[in-house]
Amino acid sequence: MTEGSKDKVKGKAKEAMGKMTGNRGKVAEGKADQAKGVAKDAVGDARRDLRDKTGPKDPLITDDE
């Protein structure tokens, strides 16, 4: 489970609890946690994409070899 997924699940739970109890603050917290999870997943995806496109890690090895 990714770090973003944990925040999304936690946020869903907070939002549901807030809706059940009528606590609008808890609903907002839950939605914020979910948004934080989405952002963390996006950053993780971007990092993976960049890592995949940076090429060989050894500067002496080129794509020509």
19 within a domain of the structure (yes/no): yes
pTM for the full predicted model: 0.73
Please write the tens of the pLDDT for every residue from 24-60.
999 999 999 999 999 999 998 888 888 777 665 656 6
- How many domains does the chain divide into? 1
What's residue 51's pLDDT? Answer: 78
Element (H, E) at 12: helix 3-21
What's residue 28's pLDDT? Answer: 97
User: Domain range spanning residue 34?
Assistant: 3-44
What's residue 36's pLDDT? Answer: 96
Given its phi and psi angles, is residue 55 left (phi above 0), alpha (psi -120 to 50 degrees) or beta?
left
13 within a domain of the structure (yes/no): yes
